[in-house]
Amino acid sequence: MKNDKPSRINTVDFTNLPFGKIFTDHMVITRYSDKKWSDSEVVPYGPLELMPSISALHYGQTVFEGMKAFLSKDGSSTIYRPDAHSKRINKSLARLDMPELPEAVFMDSLQKLINTDAEWLKKAGQLYLRPFIFATDPYLGVKSSEQYIYALLACPVGPYYTKPLNLKVETTYSRSASGGVGFAKAAGNYAGSLYPTRLAQEAGFDQLIWTDSSTHSYIEESGTMNIMSIIDGTLVTPELSETILAGITRDSVLTLAREMGIKVEERKLKVAEIVDGLKSGKVTEVFGAGTAATIIRFASITEGENKFTLPDLGEKSIAQKIYDELNMIKKGEKADTHGWLKVIV
Ligand code: COI
């Protein structure tokens, strides 16, 4: 089952970890055929042998999750909200006409990989986990596959973003549309975002603020994260819809904010409300929330030709307070009153 080769762990600089480029020694693979999932196998992280005709490569039947494991203050290994990720991957799977992944199969894979590569978690303090499922029928007809692979990878990671972000409001291209797959964590959603994101990056921006596809006047989400704003002291975020990914960090942020006595509104959020609020000073913070991104401050927002900068509020920042609270829970430094952490035994 496991790697006979020596571990790569000693070749890694854990003080300077890029996001998503270094993988632990192992991965988990589970196969689906004849309408059932096989037992999962822990194998060395490495190439997969696949036919070039598999339908995932041609028609994009692929969904994934992004989640994290943490080393707790007491030395235990934990996974952050795996039940929520299990539910979400199944929503994505259903929309892409892919078979359900039972929660027990999902949990078993997490348990096995974290236990096998426990040393990596000890050294890194956290691992980014990437469960994904893709279609493997070697068939070029356009139809749902009958065979799939579920795989789980783990990466010791540093922050996805290392500095506050400069955002551009996107009004030409769309990430998702009514009736589409925007709410699902479907690989194709990310593929479609790459070209507009590259154009924005070439113009000096870090990320896009996606807007609704029909009027481009309502904020939906950003690339890699949900969007939150502080308007007159209230945390306002776009309400969930079929075109927005239901972020698990988003949910944690809203829960903690409410408990901290911050008023929270989940509702439609017009770009104009943010722009006017930035002009008048009513909007004091805008930030992103995501598993990889964690909570990241927006330094500026550009709409058309107009760039609005946001001050660094330091300790007064509501985003910073929520970030600190969430971080302490993840590291086991503060009681996990919501049962968000699943201890790996
Ligand atoms: C995550 O935050 O886990 C994501 O999936 C975003 C990105 C890295 C694709």
Q: For the segment 46-61, what is each residue's pLDDT rounded down to a tens digit?
A: 999 999 999 999 999 9
Residue 159: predicted pLDDT: 87
Domain count, the chain: 2
Residue 225: predicted pLDDT: 98
Q: Residue whose CA is closest, atom 9 of ligand 1?
A: 224
Residue 54 lies in a domain: yes
Which residue range forms the structural domain that includes residue 262? 165-330
Distance CA 339, CA 81 (A): 8
Per-residue pLDDT of 129-173, as tens digits, reads: 999 999 999 999 999 999 999 999 999 998 899 999 999 999 999
Q: Are residues 112 and 226 in the same domain?
A: no
Q: Are residues 95 and 200 in the same domain?
A: no
**pLDDT confidence tier of residue 5, bands split at 50, 70 and 90:** confident
Residue 4: predicted pLDDT: 67
Instruction: Out of 156, 174, 196, pick the residue that ends a domain.
Output: 156
Average pLDDT score over the chain: 97
Q: Are residues 189 and 92 in the same domain?
A: no
Q: Which of 155, 151, 192 is nearest to 43 (CA)?
A: 151
pTM comes to 0.97
Residue 158: predicted pLDDT: 86
Pocket of ligand 1 from Cβ distances under 6 Å: 66, 224, 290-293
Q: Are residues 317 and 186 in the same domain?
A: yes
Q: How far is the CA of 4 from the centre of ligand 1 (A)?
A: 31
Res 244 pLDDT > 90 = yes
**Mean pLDDT on 228-241:** 98
Q: Which of 62, 57, 5, 2 is nearest to 26 (CA)?
A: 2
CATH of the domain at 320: 3.20.10.10
From the alpha carbon of 224, which atom of ligand 1 is closest?
Answer: 6
Residue 113 lies in a domain: yes
Q: Are residues 203 and 270 in the same domain?
A: yes
Q: Which of 28, 206, 177, 229 is nearest to 112 (CA)?
A: 28
Q: Are residues 36 and 87 in the same domain?
A: yes
